[in-house]
Structure 1
Amino acid sequence: MQNILVIGYNNRNVVCSAKRAGYNVCSIDVFRFLDLQECAYASALLERRAGPELIELDASKIKAQMVAFGLEFDAIVPGSWTETFDHNFFSCPVLSSSPENKQKASNKKYFSKRLETLDIPHPNCYSPDEIDAIQYPVIVKPVFGTSGLFNKIARNKQELLSILENLSSIYHSKLDLEFMSETVVIQDFLEGIPSSVYLLSTKKEALSVAVNEQLTGIPWLSRLPFAYCGNITPFRTEYAEEMEALAEELILDFKLLGSNGVDFLVTETGPTVLEVNPRFTGSFDTIEKAMNINLFEAHAGCFKGELPERPEAKRFAARGIIYSDRELFIDRQLLDVILREKGADIPPQGTNVWPDWLLTSLLSCASTREDAIISLEKKAKRIKNFIECKTKICSA
């Protein structure tokens, strides 16, 4: 296997890992970051609608882009937000779980019912047409995940109705509880430490590769209270082995293959399962850096029935995602500031970044978790200070 095509929302980490593993890699994604372009043999843009939907792939357009690359592909690898990807569109192998299994695992309502059957701790789940039975506070999420960007807390019935009306306006002119019951999920809002387990799996076995701490709603990275802002690997917790065992049980139960993640909330009483991400996850970068493992190579091995030896963390690695708090134009000056931080997800010069869109990712490695976080915060501050100063000068 030599020529690989990766299709997804943001493919940078997967494409660069595959390149390091010796593959010729092409990419179709939403961003075409500079560091992706440096790793890819060729790349193209993936168009998508704004909103809390998964990517809807246009098979004919994808095939035309594949022809334009001028390569015969040995395999296709679906990346983030492609749970509806139909393997039957293409003649070459697809290194991914079946679409049916991915959609079941991604659907928060179906997933919650399955957790209840398996007697695995999870937040209580309500339907919008059960408003009078709800215990507050609750968190409202799209049925299919969007990195926390559309998650909202409701502390009473009035707040919940307001949130449902706003979400309903995306699809309808008025609140339709029956329709909303198919598009959103309402869960008990619990306090705890957001975390995850990254796994590799074959048809017979699942291996927990790393337990990760998640960074969500970090004020110096995003103004959105539940936005996924990155993570730290490893997450040191007394519940690590329990989390790994639960994650492996779920991955095998849903018959997922290759790279997958399970999100947890570590509460005072122990770990609670939040959701499964049947795809490469955001902890990809920090796992590779903390554990000296090539995750793309390990992912490809799963489809040959092979799992690597369980890796061990050599250091703490952290990734922080900066979301822009305003509309930005990436000129040469701003690009140079971002490049100096030696991060990832580098926006191309001449492009626009919209409010609450990913601006860039920051990376750090250290011997302690605290030092890794301090390094990220310093990097973020330098970039944000430059943007603030430039904005004041431009408006003067």
Structure 2
Amino acid sequence: MKNPEKRENMQNILAIGFDTRNIVCSASRAGYAVCSIDAFRDLDLQKCAYASALLECRTSSELHQLDPRWIIAQMNAFGLDFDAIVPGSGMEMLDPGSFPCPVLASCPDAVKEASNKLHLAKKLEALGMPHPHCYSPEELDDIEYPVILKPASGGGGIFNRVAKNRQELLSALEELSRLDPEFAEKEVVIQEFLEGIPSSVSLLSTNNQALAIAVNEQLIGAPWLSRLPFAYCGNVTPFKTAHAEEMEALAEELVLELGLLGSNGVDFLATEKGPVVLEVNPRFQGSLDTIEMSTKINLFEAHIGCFRGELPEKPEAKLFAARGVLYSDRELFIDRKLMNVILKEKSADIPSMGTVTEPDWPLTSLFACASTRDEAILSLERGAERIKTFIANQTKEGRKPLNPAGKA
């Protein structure tokens, strides 16, 4: 546990969510004493946090059912008088009436409307914004293929499935129901499948103003990072595209229409015909790191300012910053040798020694900064290859350092 740095009007912050590392480290850099409750409790999170606790939840339904009294008990155990709670992924709809301090996030009703892809589609239709056509379960006979199936809320891309015909659609629905009983047809969005470059706009917003601070390229299903075809694998900031200004204008209008506050993101597909709105992330996004590296803004401080009605000056990208989320292709026991290989890279989201990473779960994040996009991506690819080669060689040699049985 660290002693919080003394500063005038210092605030004590709780960050809670499925993965809070980037929030915690940004808040720490801004001088806040920040505690964390999340599902990973990564090594670098622990170094940045005043204190941290493990959130033993693995699904969105478990997160939504989390008892506020348990959270308050954890807050009391940290031994700080908290000035605010900042929710991360999975905890966006935290009820502010359940806690003794403010929750610095959009109101739960606004978050619910923005997060649900079916509700959002109706909103985009009303606003006349370009978006993929969504089919209801009652329209199965009218579908024009191909389509993509997504959970109505959240998911990170790992549950997305493409169907090229009715049989593939029915098979995908059956598979999703096996993976999670919550994926009944009413909880799945069937969406027109479009080709384009996945991208996003990150914004800051107050009650009456919105500011687009970065346009980002998204790395989705990158085969050198993950076996999952639609998994979020990181991003590059900035995304240089002729559609950038149009995307920023659409995103600013949309977050104001939805009544969102603080740091939020809008996902786009940059198609040949122009940008198409895909979804809204009413919370801090995975692009936080690369935005801060590229523009030198502190996003946590800017987020806090939004709740005082303040927006910063629009930042400028000074270089290309890239993040690659490397997924494990097998169950891995994190021993000292593997930890050292990860630490040699410019990495974050570093798993603690002695923990186990499940197959197709994030292992670590790699970072690169360069004067061009291609240089930054090449640096990520080389780092990912070094880690994957080490894991493959250890497995071939039969030393078994990557599973609990080989620990001895």
Give the TM-score normalised by structure 2. Answer: 0.94
Cα distance, 1:50 vs structure 2: 3.8
For the Cα contact (< 8 Å) 2:92–2:105, is it kept in 1? Answer: no
The superposition leaves residues 122-150 of structure 1 with CA deviations (integer Å, 9 ceiling, x where unpaired) of 00001223111100000000000211000
> 2:57 aligns to what SS in structure 1?
coil
Residue number in structure 1 paired with 2:293: 289
Structure 1 consecutive aligned stretches of length 4 or more whose deviation exceeds 4 Å: 51-55
What is aligned with 1:62?
A: 71
CA distance in 2, matches of 1:128, 1:280: 31
Q: CA deviation at 1:87?
A: 1.1
Question: Does the 8 Å contact 1:329/1:353 carry over to 2?
Answer: yes
Matches of 2:209 and 2:244, distance apart in 1? 19
CA 1:167 to 1:51, structure 2 compared with 1: closer, same or farther past 3 Å? farther
**Letter matched to residue 257 of structure 2:** D
Q: Distance in 2 between matches of 1:254 and 1:217?
A: 29
From the superposition, tell whether residues 190 and 301 of structure 1 become closer, same or farther in structure 2 (CA, over 3 Å): same
CA 1:354 to 1:144, structure 2 compared with 1: closer, same or farther past 3 Å? Answer: same
Q: Distance in 1 between matches of 2:346 and 2:58?
A: 31
Superposed CA offset, 1:169-191 (max 9, x none): 3455xxx9xx8342100001100
Counterpart for residue 87 of structure 2 = 78
In the alignment, which residue of structure 1 is the partner of 2:41? 32
Considering only aligned residues, what root-mean-square deviation do their CA atoms show, in Å?
1.5
2:178 is the alignment partner of 1:169: yes
Is 1:197 the equivalent of 2:201?
yes
- Percent sequence identity over aligned pairs: 67
For the pair 1:225 / 2:234, whether they are aligned, the reply is no
Asked if 1:106 corresponds to 2:115, the answer is yes
Residue deviations 1:179-221 (CA, integer Å, cap 9, x gap): 8342100001100000000000000100000000000000010
- AA matched with 1:363: F
Of 315, 318, 334, the residue aligned with 1:314 is 318
1:121 partner letter: P
Equivalent residue, structure 2, for 1:359: 363
Residues 95-131 of structure 1 show CA distances to partners (whole Å, capped at 9, x for unaligned) of 1000110011000000001100111000000122311
Mapped contact 1:318–1:373 kept (Cα < 8 A) = yes
Aligned residue in 2 for 1:253: 257
Name the TM-score, length of structure 1 as normaliser: 0.96
Contact 2:346 2:368 in 1 (8 A): no
| Contact 2:60 2:90 (C-alpha < 8 Å) held by counterparts | no
Deviation at 1:63? Answer: 1.0
Look up the match of 2:406: none
Aligned to 1:89: 98
Q: What letter corresponds to residue 29 of structure 2 in structure 1?
A: R
Distance 1:34 1:26 in 2: 14
1:166 deviates by: 1.6
- Residue 130 (structure 1) aligned with residue 139 (structure 2): yes
Aligned letter for 1:37? Q
- The letter for the 1-side match of 2:198 is P
Deviation at 1:91, TM superposition (A): 1.5
What's the counterpart of residue 282 of structure 2? 278
Secondary structure (helix, strand or coil) at the match of 2:398 reads helix
CA–CA separation in structure 2 for the residues paired with 1:54 and 1:90:
16
Comparing 280-289 and 44-53, the one that deviates more: 44-53
Match of 2:386 in 1: 382
Distance 2:75 2:62 in 1: 24
Rounded to whole Å, the distance in 1 between the matches of 2:31 and 2:111 is 28
Report the secondary structure of 1:169's partner residue.
helix
Separation in 1 of the partners of 2:72 and 2:396? 46
User: What CA deviation, in whole Å up to 9, does each residue of 1:39-61 have, x standing for no partner?
Assistant: 00000011214478764322121
In 2, the alpha carbon distance for the partners of 1:391 and 1:237 equals: 42
Aligned residues: 391
Residue 83 of structure 1 deviates from its aligned partner by 2.6
Structure 2: gaps of 5 or more residues: 1-9, 401-408
Choose the corresponding residue for 2:395, options 380, 391, 395. Answer: 391
Q: Tell me if structure 2 keeps the 8 A contact 1:53–1:144.
A: no
Question: Mean alpha-carbon deviation: is it higher for 44-53 or for 27-36?
Answer: 44-53
User: Cα offset for 1:85?
Assistant: 1.3
Please state whether the residue corresponding to 2:279 is helix, strand or coil. Answer: strand
Aligned twin of 1:186: 190
Contact 1:83–1:106 (CA under 8 A) maintained in structure 2: no
Letter of the structure 1 residue corresponding to residue 69 of structure 2: S
* Equivalent residue runs for 1:294-305 within 5 Å: 294-305=298-309
Match of 2:5 in 1: none
Q: Distance in 2 between matches of 1:365 and 1:49?
A: 32
